[in-house]
Structure 1
Amino acid sequence: MGICIPEALISSTAEPASLREWVAHCGSAGEFSGVVLVARGARPVFEQAVGLAYRASGVANTMDTRFNLGSINKTFTSVAIAQLVEAGRIDFDASIGTYLPDYPNPDAARTITIHHLMTHTAGLPPYMSPRYMSERDRIHTLDDLVRVFASRPLQFEPGSRQEYSNSGYVLLGRIVEEVGGTPYEAYVKTHIYDPAGMSRTGFEPLEATRTAKGYMVVGSDGHPVMSRGPTPAAVGPVNLKENTAMLDRGNPAGGGYSTAPDLVAFANALRDGTLLGPAMTDHLLNGTFSGVQRPKHGYALREQVVGGRRFVGNGGGAPGINAEFRFEPGGDYSVVVLSNLGPPSATAILEHVLGVPDSLGA
């Protein structure tokens, strides 16, 4: 079944019962556990919660449940950088050494720009490495995390190609700290979450109240199974395992927590000028998308055109985590799907809601 949001929701005031039935079916089949929210401005036009936030105690997911966002955090980091550019304190074309003069790799400090970091074209090595795993318990600050990868050679010449980089957004967060004069978490709370009215968004640990625990599908060897294909349709408790032991505290590249209503509030704050002025808002939402790949990628946003409507947003996925967030830059609609199962649980729902083929939503 494919439900196209422009036909089923946007052009109609009636609730699409078929979508509600389909989401419920995905929940009962073990393919989805989480929430779906479609809003026009601040007004929900469709919302549904299915599955359990905490299976051990039978706590159900609700529209106020907090979910791990995965890489959606990168979009907050992108907005933070854009705010500092707008304030004249950062330049997209300046080198990272301008803001981090003691960066351990002098060549990288000289040749990598903020734009390279924002577009995944810097060539930084991944921070997930044997060194990271061995030092994981001793990493407490962004400076600690940057030191894991900063001295290693670049993987390619900055600007020569694009390769998805969590390290790049960690480094952007470190630059936000240095230029903004405050820890990253404090900066985004003061300058993004609070102005947008995102009262349930942050980096609090998983044990915080009304926060969904993530459940990953495990194979016969006990290791998590990550798949871009269909989620197994009959996932029983024996096949699921909490992902708590795998989680680190969130950082500028991903891993914070939020609710579906808070993400709608974020979209509205971007559209209405609460977070950025008109010129920078236009640049972020319309002027940074390039390349021939589909969907096109900008500064921690990706673009999808569905039925003549243009959506931008971001997503995240890991074992026990799948989050998707899209909104119309030039319209009123926002779509949020958050899940405490791994990919493609939320992505598959989003693709049906938007009417987007698998090849576009990957």
Structure 2
Amino acid sequence: MPAVALGTGTAQATPVIRGTGTVPAALAGFDTAIRTYIAERQITHAQLAVARKGKILLARGYRYADRKSGDMPVWLPPLQPTALFRVASLSKHLTSAAIMRLVQDGKLGLSAPVTTLLGLSAEADPRLAQVTVLRLMQHLGGWDRNVSKDQLWIDHTISATLDVPLPIGHDDIIRYTTARPLDFDPGSKMVYSNYGYMLLGRIIEKVSGTSYESYIQQKLLAPVGITRMRLGRSLKTEAASTEVPYVSKYTNKSVVDDSGTVVPYPYGGFNMPNQDANGGWLASAVDLVKFGMVFDAAGPVLNAASIAKVFAKPEIGVNGNGSWYGGGWWVRSNGSGLNTWHNGSMPGTFSFLARIQNGISYCAIFNRREEEGTPDFDSIDPLLGKAAGAVTTWPTTDLTPNYF
């Protein structure tokens, strides 16, 4: 990779990557792959966790720093495997699991229309009455962000249209969107919709009688011993004590107030609390592989029928490549079972989580995403898949007690 300039001088830097946690020798290929990936993209904070058959086998935190040639290294505090990252759309399988838990408990039906559940008017488009809970989970609701823009990312437009001050809230986003026609007939095609998942969060609150965050923590996370995860906030001054900093070269006009101030995109350039059910969670990689085990078999969170429904094929069938979108997961048959995966991306965050054959799962999280001039970030998927395929003997020591 190219040398990196240090400060305002002319000295050149060599990358130094500090790792914490445990890497069994049999899984060294994962560690090598992530180190190469980090160095190529100059990612300053990253995590990796690998699990197999209910056991966490690798847990790693990484810090990338710069070191002057021939000089002492600039050592930065190490990053622990339990540090918190914004995980963006890896929040969606949490939301889908919460919906299925409500269904499982007899409090909600997947065929219930969003208009009835949230008291929304279908005056602007009668087709809104055809948008069900299941269609929201499978991105079949009728909103196309390539046509009408992603409602979670147009705060200034919504504020101006409704003549309400910033920051806007969920109610403002819903009022703005409900007053406009859908982009396609519900159920006719799949178009990824953050707005649809935001609505699922409001349904969870309405049906459960508690906040979205509290419901997830109490009904999904606590039963499997996960206590760190929480919803993120917009500003750096509001960050959790173990939360990483986020990096982006882009700026945006603040959406947290009407000052018009131009701010770093990850810090006030978008409204993190509004992202909650579609992309608002903070987690570590070990948290996410641990929660992913909820989908392996019936347990204290979901029963077998609920898990099957999360991964079920939608009414529109499968894509040309044989995959489909279930509830918060991309899904594809591997012949003997299902591979499921998802990524997450927002300014200052990129994350990837996969559950593949033979009970293997892995999660990687980074504090920056692909931007103009950076190498491709989506290559993390085949990179980790290749590392998994190269393992000849899987270790058996379970690291779970170290982190939970």
Q: 1:305 to 1:59 in 2, by over 3 A?
A: farther
Q: 1: CA distance between counterparts of 2:306 and 2:362?
A: 23
User: Between Structure 1 and Structure 2, how many residues are aligned?
Assistant: 320
Q: 1: CA distance between counterparts of 2:334 and 2:55?
A: 21
Corresponding residue for residue 17 of structure 1 = 28
Deviation at 1:323, TM superposition (A): 0.7
Counterpart amino acid of 1:192?
A: L
Farther off after superposition, 165-174 or 25-34 = 25-34
Counterpart amino acid of 1:66?
A: L
Checking the alignment, whether the CA contact within 8 Å between 2:314 and 2:324 is kept in structure 1 is no
Alignment deviations for residues 142-177 of structure 1 (CA, whole Å, 9 cap, x no partner): 334322322111111111222111111111111111
Q: 1:355 to 1:16 in 2, by over 3 A?
A: same
List alignment gaps of at least 5 residues for structure 2. 1-23, 66-73, 253-263, 388-404
Deviation at 1:262, TM superposition (A): 0.9
Checking the alignment, whether the CA contact within 8 Å between 1:217 and 1:319 is kept in structure 2 is no
- Bigger Rg over Cα: 2
Deviation at 1:89, TM superposition (A): 2.3
Alignment deviations for residues 4-29 of structure 1 (CA, whole Å, 9 cap, x no partner): xxxxxxxxx85243442332233233
Alignment deviations for residues 319-338 of structure 1 (CA, whole Å, 9 cap, x no partner): 2110111124x753221011
Corresponding residue for residue 360 of structure 1 = none
Q: 1: CA distance between counterparts of 2:206 and 2:246?
A: 33
Corresponding residue for residue 29 of structure 1 = 40
Alignment deviations for residues 121-144 of structure 1 (CA, whole Å, 9 cap, x no partner): 11135313353365573324x334
Corresponding residue for residue 245 of structure 2 = 213
Q: 1: CA distance between counterparts of 2:75 and 2:230?
A: 24
Deviation at 1:215, TM superposition (A): 0.8
Corresponding residue for residue 243 of structure 1 = 266
Is 1:165 aligned to 2:193, yes or no?
yes
Q: 1:309 to 1:350 in 2, by over 3 A?
A: farther
DSSP 3-state at the match of 2:339: strand
Checking the alignment, whether the CA contact within 8 Å between 1:324 and 1:346 is kept in structure 2 is no
Deviation at 1:267, TM superposition (A): 1.2
Checking the alignment, whether the CA contact within 8 Å between 2:159 and 2:168 is kept in structure 1 is no
Q: 2: CA distance between counterparts of 1:355 and 1:309?
A: 19
Corresponding residue for residue 231 of structure 1 = none
Structure 1 segments (4+ residues) deviating >6 Å: 306-309
Q: 1: CA distance between counterparts of 2:337 and 2:378?
A: 19
Deviation at 1:282, TM superposition (A): 2.1
Checking the alignment, whether the CA contact within 8 Å between 2:122 and 2:129 is kept in structure 1 is no
Checking the alignment, whether the CA contact within 8 Å between 2:93 and 2:327 is kept in structure 1 is yes
Is 1:101 aligned to 2:119, yes or no?
yes
Checking the alignment, whether the CA contact within 8 Å between 1:213 and 1:244 is kept in structure 2 is no
Q: 2: CA distance between counterparts of 1:86 and 1:331?
A: 27
Is 1:353 aligned to 2:384, yes or no?
yes
Corresponding residue for residue 133 of structure 2 = 114
DSSP 3-state at the match of 1:252: helix
List alignment gaps of at least 5 residues for structure 1. 1-12, 224-240, 357-362
Q: 1: CA distance between counterparts of 2:196 and 2:165?
A: 19
Checking the alignment, whether the CA contact within 8 Å between 1:96 and 1:114 is kept in structure 2 is yes
Q: 2: CA distance between counterparts of 1:72 and 1:79?
A: 12
DSSP 3-state at the match of 1:216: coil
Q: 1: CA distance between counterparts of 2:333 and 2:246?
A: 31
Q: 2: CA distance between counterparts of 1:307 and 1:337?
A: 26
Q: 1:48 to 1:215 in 2, by over 3 A?
A: same
Which of 249, 252, 255 is residue 280 of structure 2 equivalent to? 255
Corresponding residue for residue 350 of structure 2 = 322
Is 1:189 aligned to 2:217, yes or no?
yes
Checking the alignment, whether the CA contact within 8 Å between 1:322 and 1:339 is kept in structure 2 is yes
The two structures have a TM-score, normalised by structure 1, of 0.78
Q: 1: CA distance between counterparts of 2:159 and 2:26?
A: 48
Q: 2: CA distance between counterparts of 1:292 and 1:29?
A: 32
* Aligned pairs (5 A) from 1:298-337: 298-304=326-332, 310-328=338-356, 331-337=358-364
* Aligned pairs (5 A) from 1:269-284: 269-272=294-297, 273-284=299-310
Q: 1: CA distance between counterparts of 2:47 and 2:334?
A: 22
The two structures have a TM-score, normalised by structure 2, of 0.70
Counterpart amino acid of 1:99?
A: L
Corresponding residue for residue 157 of structure 2 = 131
Checking the alignment, whether the CA contact within 8 Å between 1:143 and 1:174 is kept in structure 2 is no
Percent identity, aligned pairs only, is 23
